[in-house]
Structure 1
Amino acid sequence: MAQTQQLGPSGTPPVPHPDSEKAAALRRMKNIALGLLLFMAVVFCFAFALEHQFPWLSYVRAAAEGGMVGALADWFAVTALFKHPMGIKIPHTAIIPNRKDEIGASLAEFVETNFLSETVVAQKLATTKIAQKVGTWLAKPASAERVATEGAAALRGAMAVLKDDDVKDVIESMVRKHVLEPPWGPPIGKLAERIFAEGHHHALVDLLVDRSTTWIRANHTTISGLVSDRSPSWVPQFVDGLVGDKIYNEIYKFARAVQDDPHHEVRLQLDSYLKDLAQELQHDPAMIAKAEAIKAQVLGDPEVRELAGRTWETIKSALTEAAEDPNSELRLKFTAAVQEFGTRLVEDTELAAKANKWISDAAAYLVGTYKHEITSLITETVEHWDAEETSQKIELQVGKDLQFIRINGTVVGSLAGVVIFTVATLVFG
């Protein structure tokens, strides 16, 4: 009956494990080396038994004898690396299991000395042109979109990890440190002084004058009524009307005069007042104290806490929505910026050279500063390995090639045996 092959979970034949393949190859090479040794032993027996009848078999016996000696010697040497030959605890055998920690330390030192060298890393990176390669990859739309997608995922993760109260505390502390603790008067006065000196406030004054003039023109009844309401009851009504009209006309004429004349006395007086106010905010202790009092009224503890909360909620909401929406403006602009940066890395030689220099310097610094910590990973990992398992793993990796030593030892031993026997025969007869 034919044996059925066991299928994997997906219905396909299981993929052989790499260690299984290496173990099979190792067994095959061991069998070949052992078979060659047994062949030499059989040849030796026949040649030893028949050499008195056939003298030429003495050379065959010498070759087989030398081959057996070479095969056994190399078997012992190869086996002694991984275990005690035939279970006998001969000194200086089972080298790898007994000295795995020293081997790990030596390997780490070798890597640290020959690979994690600032000079070696800098020279390699100088010829790699990492910036251009990264730029070429980033310039592709699919790559830029992938970076944006991964960035959005990282942003969502950060938003989920961050605690709202902690972020609000940070924002509140920053507001207190950079907004509330410094006095407001001097910086506001300095900024106002510059604005007033350059005449940027004139547009606001023009707007206020225009809106005031427009309101006066449209509210004749309101202004006249104010006169009637405040006049004595014994004054005739028609007098109130005349006085009200007169006052309205004068107010309107005055407003139009201020509106039409850029150098009107009111405008000049307003400029003078604003400039004096700017100076007082900077140098007058009383005015500075008033500004601080206003600041304390406007931004007390509850207001600052509420401001921090609203600020964080707004930022968090905006970032979360932008991260979740592939077509959001932020995602699209970020993708375009990544793609543009990649194109610049490819086309701008100076920028690419600076980026490569920065990468090289950063890598050299990291290697120079942390190379011992990096190689300690090798030492610590080997120290935690089981001795027997370590020996088996290493034998799986290199054992197949080591079996060629046994085969070559058998062949070389045979040739050496023939040569030695021939020389001895020629010399001693």
Structure 2
Amino acid sequence: MAALFLLARHFASAYPWLLAVRAFAEAAMVGGLADWFAVTALFRHPLGLPIPHTAIIPANKDRLADGIAAFLRSNFLTVQVVTRRLAGLDVAGALGRFLADPAQQGGAPRLRQGAASLLSDVLHSLPGEQIGAMAKAMLHRQLHKVDLAPLMGQVLEAAVADGRHQPMIEAALRWAGLTLEANEALLREMVHARAHALIRWTGLDESLANAVLDGLYRLLAECIVDPQHPLRVKLDGLLVQWAQDLRHDPETQAKVARMKEGVLAHPAVAAWIDGLWLRARASLLEATQAPEALTTGRMGAGLASLGAALQQDVRLRQQVNRFSRRTLAGLAVRHGAGIVALVSDTVRRWDAGTVALRIEAAVGRDLQFIRINGTVVGGLVGLALYGLDHLL
């Protein structure tokens, strides 16, 4: 623009129309220099001169950090924003498609390998006893939290309603018959010991023992072959009543809870949990060596079934998605302040010159166009003013 101004000024006497070009070039120089000053003043002192209100970004680095943190907090890390952003996110559907057919997902091998490597690093880096103690403590806590009585009541009530308890009753009756047969001699001895001396002298004790055994055998046989036998009907009623007590009777629930606590406190249970953890750790280590095995065999079939259920069961998918939204929203609430503080502290620790250079490098091309646009706009304004001056 300076060269154009000098040329137009030199030849204006010979070519009067160059006066308009000179006015354009003169205003363009002013516009370009003004925009150069404005853009430069954002990042440093123009020409190194400490002019007030220049080097704005370095001078206000801490305010910039707080502003970025406040922007993140207000626009990304609130419950309302996270919930709204996740409203249309189908986590269950995506997970279901991956589990149902992981081979069709492009990142499945890398995801599988990455997860296996991470799990292997965790298992090898932390002491086995430490992880085991954490896993066993978590399992103990979960077992103690389980309200066993209502759960047992629901299962028993459903089994009786569907008739699924009948095979168990028949098995118990057959077991009673076999037990009776194995202890027949003991029963005869009991009858003989409790019989009167006269009855033993006449030999009626043997007949009495035979009668008792025959009666018990006949009763068990009739109960096994007749589902509507009065004894089995009575037993069904007792099971239904027990299921009701398990679900609604506080005394029964307290008894079951005490039994559960006694079982969990038994050393055999602790040994079983230890063995369970050792087997689980060995299986996990084996799986990390061959992560592709996770999608084959029984485990692969189980994961595929779960994936199909997540895709087809609308209620299950809604529950999983609702849980995902609540979990992510909870994470935003619990850890949002920490994330914001991390961003703010990181920017505050940056050197002022580093901040200016990083921002300038990120938008450098646009800054150059600002200068060009200022030059062109300034020139057009100068040309317009030149035209108005001659018209008026």
State whether TM-score is above 0.5.
yes
Find the aligned partners of 2:104 and 2:279 in 1 and give their Cα distance: 27
Structure 1 equivalent of residue 69 of structure 2 = 108
Structure 2 SS opposite 1:128: coil
Structure 2 SS opposite 1:127: coil
Displacement of 1:79 in angstroms is 1.1
Match of 1:387 among 349, 352, 371: 352
Match of 1:421 among 370, 386, 390: 386
Displacement of 1:413 in angstroms is 1.1
Displacement of 1:361 in angstroms is 3.0
Structure 2 equivalent of residue 355 of structure 1 = 320
Displacement of 1:415 in angstroms is 1.3
Residue 209 and residue 364 in structure 1: after superposition, are their counterparts in 2 closer, same or farther (change >3 A)?
A: closer
Matched residue type, 2:182: R
Find the aligned partners of 1:334 and 1:367 in 2 and give their Cα distance: 34
Residue 169 and residue 362 in structure 1: after superposition, are their counterparts in 2 closer, same or farther (change >3 A)?
A: closer
1:335 aligns with 2:300: yes
Q: Between Structure 1 and Structure 2, how many residues are aligned?
A: 304
Percent of matched pairs sharing the same residue: 33
Match of 1:262 among 193, 212, 216: 216
Q: Normalized against structure 1, the TM-score is what?
A: 0.57
Using the TM superposition, name which of 115-124 and 314-323 deviates more.
314-323
Residue 328 and residue 42 in structure 1: after superposition, are their counterparts in 2 closer, same or farther (change >3 A)?
A: closer
Displacement of 1:125 in angstroms is 1.7
Match of 1:366 among 327, 331, 337: 331
Larger radius of gyration: 1
Find the aligned partners of 1:371 and 1:169 in 2 and give their Cα distance: 27
Structure 1 SS opposite 2:363: helix
Structure 1 equivalent of residue 6 of structure 2 = 45
1:87 aligns with 2:41: no
> Can you give the 5+ residue segments of structure 1 that lack an aligned partner in the other structure?
1-39, 180-197, 216-248, 265-298
Match of 1:210 among 181, 203, 220: 181
Matched residue type, 1:127: G
Match of 2:286 among 306, 318, 324: 324
8 Å Cα contact 1:47-1:60 kept in structure 2: yes
Structure 2 equivalent of residue 282 of structure 1 = none
Matched residue type, 1:324: E
Residue 383 and residue 214 in structure 1: after superposition, are their counterparts in 2 closer, same or farther (change >3 A)?
A: same
8 Å Cα contact 2:86-2:325 kept in structure 1: yes
Structure 1 equivalent of residue 274 of structure 2 = 312
8 Å Cα contact 2:123-2:285 kept in structure 1: no
Find the aligned partners of 1:126 and 1:356 in 2 and give their Cα distance: 9
Find the aligned partners of 2:300 and 2:90 in 1 and give their Cα distance: 23
> Can you give the 5+ residue segments of structure 2 that lack an aligned partner in the other structure?
145-168, 187-202, 219-262
Find the aligned partners of 2:129 and 2:204 in 1 and give their Cα distance: 60
Matched residue type, 1:338: L
Match of 2:87 among 122, 126, 150: 126
Find the aligned partners of 1:376 and 1:165 in 2 and give their Cα distance: 32
8 Å Cα contact 1:322-1:328 kept in structure 2: no
8 Å Cα contact 1:81-1:93 kept in structure 2: yes
Find the aligned partners of 1:333 and 1:322 in 2 and give their Cα distance: 15
8 Å Cα contact 1:65-1:417 kept in structure 2: yes
Q: Normalized against structure 2, the TM-score is what?
A: 0.62
Displacement of 1:77 in angstroms is 0.9
